[in-house]
Copies of this chain bind each other. A is one copy, B any other.
């Protein structure tokens, strides 16, 4: 067995960032930047490489600043309402004569001999004569040469980010081509035996190179010029060769991944040989295994392999370099305070970047943590903001006020926070809401029905989907709302009767027909049936436990009872992939993944499960009215029922509390 390297030293994030920029500055990486010529018309978003001086004045002639008449101002001296002055209209080709005037439009060359303009609104025409009742002062309403920019004056300073109006100023000043800072070429080298470039080569154990396109897009967004290299196998010589080749024609090299200290992580030793490794390991989560190195006076960075880690670390260590290498300003990270909706434990010594849904509930900003795993891309696609948890923190309590940074330009007022029990039909509700109000977005946190009730109680959500059977009364939801939300004014609205049941592979190869079968051994293999469960506090888990109790089944005897997943679709995915033989879930989830479905509740026999929405809105809130409108609309009902196992005939009905 080959020896494993001890794990990386772990520098605090800020120290690593400072060291990185300081060392790059020391080797002169941000000086004497490469430049190139571009046409002004192509210069949007580029950065001037040096000061730009005007080649001609703006305006380049004395011109009329208004539509009106051009005259020699002294000819109008003395004019007043009781004693108007009349000026003889001259044609454009006539030479100026004292007492004459020309009609001019804005921008017209001021005719020789004239030195002022009177606005057309102030001129009264009497045949071919212009009558004026106010004296013109010399040069009034005249744009004189150089009024805006004088030839040889500065039009734009060095390192100026070019906006549309700057292009107009340059062109007006007679400049058609300028020198700009070259976009930094950033090589992106994907490494790993398991990485494949196309879906055709994808099989279990292989991973599609999604980081390459993602990092290239990020570099583009930061003004750089990404150069995507071929995937390199986990072979030391091959990786070294790829890095050397990229150092030749690029300004920066990103190696992804092979940055931790696993069996085949060659990046760090190679970079130590080619140059200086400044940092190997940064105390952040996700993202720990980062390598910052300088080779041939150029930055070379090793990023971790998980997409979320790769993106967050690129944001911390690639972006600043790409921007600085173009003299672009570093982005402002403005923070706002929000209330954290759930407790978040944290590891001392690691700075964690927690992804958040952020919404405004009852006037307070509420931040709901999304999935924390480095493998969860969806946690970043859904995130509106980030919370940086200090490395000195062992965790943050629910309800604490925390500083959050926005990731997208979406306004928290437009984010509707939905918590509670997961149902695919809720997503459909979200789409319908956006169809009516495009600015709205519905954000989900799947915390189970009980969790949803608690979130509404704590004023941390707008909406919660719940399906909780009260064993004592046999009623759904109402007893729980009465028990936990008696102090709060909320609305309980009926959404759907649902079909729950056991999901099994198509054709039901293990012959699972009831909950009793969960204890059965397969006759051929002697293996027991394996189950995949939902987490505690969910209605589905409570339904299972209730049904098991009714059937007298001891849950500890079920293989897989301890394996919990977060959504109906995750249950279906576990079954579809063979990770488990069965699990309790919605018919819609079975239908989505082509599984067979063994009903445990039945909407056709009146034993359907009642799924309702708790709405935390004031009485005539427009969003709530929109939700009720959608629930009652035939289109929406039809679309949900088509998913399978839903009865929406009473959707939108307000339930008395």
Query: Is A562 on the interface with B (CB-CB < 8 A)?
Result: yes
A603 — which chain B residues lie within 8 A by C-beta? none
Partner of A168, one of B7, B210, B579: B210
Give CA–CA (A211, B211) in the complex, Å: 40
Contact with B along A92-131 (1 / 0, CB 8 A): 0000000000010111110000000000110001001000
Which of A139-147, A540-548, A619-627 lies at the interface with chain B? A139-147
How far is the CB of A236 from the nearest CB of chain B, in Å?
A: 16
Option from B157, B163, B262 in Cβ contact (under 8 Å) with A431: B157
Q: Tell me if A164 and B373 are in contact (CB < 8 A).
A: no
A1 x B211 contact (CB < 8 A): no
User: Is the Cβ of A51 less than 8 Å from the Cβ of B562?
Assistant: no
Determine if A400 is an interface residue (Cβ-Cβ < 8 Å): no
Q: Mark A38-65, 1 if CB is under 8 A from B, else 0.
A: 0011001100000100000111111101
Interface string of A380-418 (1 = CB under 8 A from B): 110000000000000000000000000011110000000
Known A579-B144, A592-B152; contact A307-B161, beta-carbon cutoff 8 A:
no
> Whose C-beta in chain B lies nearest to the C-beta of A371?
B148
Are B262 and A410 interface neighbours, CB within 8 A?
no
A240 at the interface (CB under 8 A from B): no
Chain B residues within 8 Å of A216, by CB: 41
Assess whether A331 is interfacial by the CB under 8 Å rule.
yes
- Tell me if A82 counts as interface (CB < 8 A to partner B): no
Provide the bound-state CA to CA distance between A562 and B562, in Å.
91
CB of A344 to closest CB in B, whole Å: 20
Given known pairs A150-B573, A427-B154, A592-B152, the reply for A165 and B205 (CB within 8 Å) is no
Contact B174 A199 (CB under 8 A): yes
Q: B4–A260 contact, CB under 8 A?
A: no
**Residues in B whose Cβ lies below 8 Å from that of A306:** 106
State which residues 540-582 of A face B: CB under 8 Å. 560, 562-563, 565, 567, 569-570, 572-574, 576-577, 579
**A439 contacts partner chain B, Cβ-Cβ < 8 Å:** yes
Q: Which residue on B lies nearest to A195, using beta carbons?
A: B107
Contact at A159–B409, with CB atoms within 8 Å? no
- Please tell me which one of the listed residues B103, B329, B431, B560 contacts residue A439 in the complex, with CB atoms under 8 A apart: B329
A424–B576 Cα gap in the complex (Å)?
75
What B residues does A410 contact at CB under 8 A?
A: 329
Instruction: Pick the residue among B105, B157, B408 that contacts A430 (CB under 8 A).
Output: B157
Contacts of A260 in B (CB 8 A): 67, 106
Minimum CB–CB distance from A227 to chain B (whole Å) comes to: 14
- Does any Cβ of B come within 8 Å of A269's Cβ? no
Chain B residues closer than 8 Å to A164, beta-carbon distance: 213-215, 217-218, 221, 311
A176 on the interface (CB 8 Å rule)? yes
Q: Is the CB of A165 within 8 A of B380?
A: yes
What chain B residues lie within 8 Å of A381 (beta carbons)?
A: 155-156, 163, 165-166, 169
Q: Indicate which residue in B89, B220, B264 contacts A44 across the interface (CB closer than 8 Å).
A: B220
In contact, A214 and B573 (Cβ under 8 angstroms): no
- Asked if A153 CB lies within 8 Å of chain B CBs, one says yes
The answer to whether B145 and A44 have CB atoms under 8 Å apart is no
CB distance from A632 to the nearest CB of B (A): 22
A51 close to B204 (CB less than 8 A): no
The answer on a CB contact under 8 Å between A377 and B165 is yes
A182 within 8 A of B: no
1/0 contact string of A610-623 vs chain B (CB within 8 Å): 00000000000000
Residue numbers in B under 8 Å from A83 (CB-CB)? none
Q: Find out whether the CB atom of B165 lies under 8 angstroms from the CB atom of A307.
A: yes
What residues on B are CB-neighbors of A62 within 8 Å? 577, 579
Shortest CB–CB separation between residue A334 and chain B, in angstroms?
A: 8
B263→A67 contact, CB < 8 A: yes
Q: A145-B579, A307-B168 are in contact. Are A205 and B439 (CB under 8 A)?
A: no
Q: Determine whether A364 belongs to the interface, using a CB cutoff of 8 Å to chain B.
A: no
* Chain B: CB-nearest residue to A332: B409
Which of B40, B169, B305 contacts A377, CB < 8 Å? B169
CB neighbours (8 Å) of A174 from chain B are: 199
A205 touches B63 (CB 8 A): yes
Nearest CB of chain B from residue A503's CB, rounded to whole Å: 12
B411 near A210: Cβ-Cβ < 8 Å? no
* A59 contact set on B, CB distance < 8 A: 207, 375
Q: In the bound complex, how far is the Cα of B146 from the Cα of A311, in angstroms?
A: 21
Which residues of the partner chain B approach A7 to less than 8 Å between Cβ atoms? 121
Instruction: Specify which chain B residues have a CB less than 8 angstroms from the CB of A169 in the assembled complex.
Output: 210, 307, 377-378, 380-381
Instruction: In the A-B complex, list the 8 residue pairs whose CB atoms are closest, starting with the nearest.
Output: A146-B573, A109-B205, A61-B204, A67-B262, A150-B569, A164-B217, A168-B214, A145-B577
Can you give 14 A-B contacts (C-beta < 8 A)? A67-B263, A106-B260, A107-B205, A108-B205, A109-B204, A137-B562, A145-B574, A150-B573, A155-B378, A161-B409, A168-B210, A169-B381, A329-B409, A329-B439
